[in-house]
Structure 1
Amino acid sequence: MTITVCDEEFILIKERALFLPEKQLLVISDLHLGKSAHFRRAGLQVPSTVAQSDLQRLSLIIERYAPQTLLINGDMFHHQLNSDVDDFSRWKSYYRNLEFILVKGNHDRLADKHYQDLGIHVYEPSYCTDKLCFIHDSTACKEETLYPISGHIHPGVTIIGKAKQRLRFPCFYFGKEYAILPAFSAFTGLFNIKPNKGEDVYAITPTKVLKV
């Protein structure tokens, strides 16, 4: 689905990503690499394939849109180094011509050297264009003239079906003052968004993105 925000074309991708064709910029949020390994360390039986599956989905998007830059809008890594970070390093080696940018989130706690070794350009607290402020938590944005685009809360929306069944989906939220991107990782919960009048929510269903 294509929409216009701040006079810019945004492509809302059903794999939970945002593409700005004019800037050749692909944006995702809340990748949470290492979260499954972190839980396994704590003794919880979480499949080891969670990170690999998310990276495979990201590969498909990169191949489809051929961006120049991939921007991860916070929570790229979940706490410390672990096997999922090693998987990412191997995966990234296939994309030597792609610039990787991370806007630090609350879970991004690796040492600066680790980001440098991985070839990731780190911005804190935000990465800004002429009209947009990419920041993990919109409440922290100090750039009053820019439109904040955040992540952090893993937005979701509930849709009531024809048979009155309640279905929950991840979503994109575009309010008057800021936007929130869906969590890219499949291994996250959802925080239900209740939009006010004049605010737009786009549900991400298994087959398409639709305005609700």
Structure 2
Amino acid sequence: MEINCKGERIILDEERAIYLPDHGFLVLSDLHLGKSAHFRRAGVPVPATIGINDLSRLSFLLERYQPDCLLVTGDMFHHSLNSDIAHFADWRKQHSALRLILVKGNHDLLSDADYAALGIELHSPSFCLGPFCFIHDAPKCTEEELYPISGHIHPGITLQGKARQKLRFPCYYFGKDFAVLPAFSLFTGLSTIRQSAGDRSYAITPGKVVAV
């Protein structure tokens, strides 16, 4: 689905990422790579394929859009170096020519040397492009004239069917003052977003993005 925000075209992909065609930027948030390995280390039986599957989805998006740059608005990694991040290092070698920018989030705890070794360009607290200020948490934006696009809260929305059944989906949220991207990782919960008059939300249902 394509929308217009602040005079810019934005493609909302069903794989929980946006593409800015006029800039060649693929933007997503909250990959939480390493989260499953962190849980396994703590004795929680979490499948080892979670991070690998998320990287496969990311490869699919790179093939679909052929972006000049991948921008992650925080929480790319969940914890310290572990086996999941080793998988990412192998994945990164396959996409070594891709510019990769990370706006650091609260879970991005690796050292600057580790990020450099992975070919990741760091920015904190924000990275600005056109009319947008990409950050991890919206209230921290200091660029008053720019429109913040954040992540962090893993937004979701509840839809009610004709038979009164209720289903929750991840969503894109575009409010008056800021936007929030869905968590890219499938290994995350959902936080219900509260809308005000004039706000726009787009539910990510199986196979398509739906305006609600």
TM-score range, shorter chain: over 0.9
Secondary structure of the 1:93 match is helix
Matched residue, 2:135 = 135
Letter of the 1:186 counterpart? L
Q: For residues 65-84 of structure 1, what are the structure 2 equivalents within 5 Å?
A: 65-84=65-84
Matched residue, 2:29 = 29
Q: Distance in 2 between matches of 1:137 and 1:84?
A: 25
Secondary structure of the 2:67 match is coil
Secondary structure of the 2:11 match is strand
CA displacement at 1:115 relative to structure 2: 0.3
Secondary structure of the 2:94 match is coil
CA displacement at 1:196 relative to structure 2: 1.0
Matched residue, 1:189 = 189
Q: Distance in 2 between matches of 1:30 and 1:76?
A: 6
Letter of the 1:143 counterpart? E
Per the normalisation by structure 1, the TM-score is 0.99
Matched residue, 2:156 = 156
Q: Distance in 2 between matches of 1:130 and 1:19?
A: 14
Q: Distance in 2 between matches of 1:127 and 1:172?
A: 19
> How many residues matched?
212
Aligned-pair Cα RMSD in Å: 0.5
Q: For the Cα contact (< 8 Å) 1:127–1:135, is it kept in 2?
A: yes
Letter of the 1:164 counterpart? R
Q: For residues 1-212 of structure 1, what are the structure 2 equivalents within 5 Å?
A: 1-212=1-212
Q: 1:153-209 deviations in whole A, cap 9, x for unaligned?
A: 000000000110000000000000000000000000000112111000000001100
Q: Which runs of 4+ in 1 moved over 6 A?
A: none
Q: Distance in 1 between matches of 2:96 and 2:161?
A: 45
Letter of the 1:206 counterpart? P
Report percent identity of matched pairs. Answer: 58
Q: Distance in 2 between matches of 1:181 and 1:144?
A: 20
Q: For the Cα contact (< 8 Å) 1:175–1:198, is it kept in 2?
A: yes
Per the normalisation by structure 2, the TM-score is 0.99
Q: 1:14-65 deviations in whole A, cap 9, x for unaligned?
A: 0000000000000010000000001001100000000000000011010000
Letter of the 1:173 counterpart? Y
**Structure 1 unpaired stretches of 5+:** none
Q: Distance in 2 between matches of 1:120 and 1:50?
A: 22
Q: 1:67-116 deviations in whole A, cap 9, x for unaligned?
A: 00000110000010100110001011111221000000000010000000
Secondary structure of the 2:110 match is coil
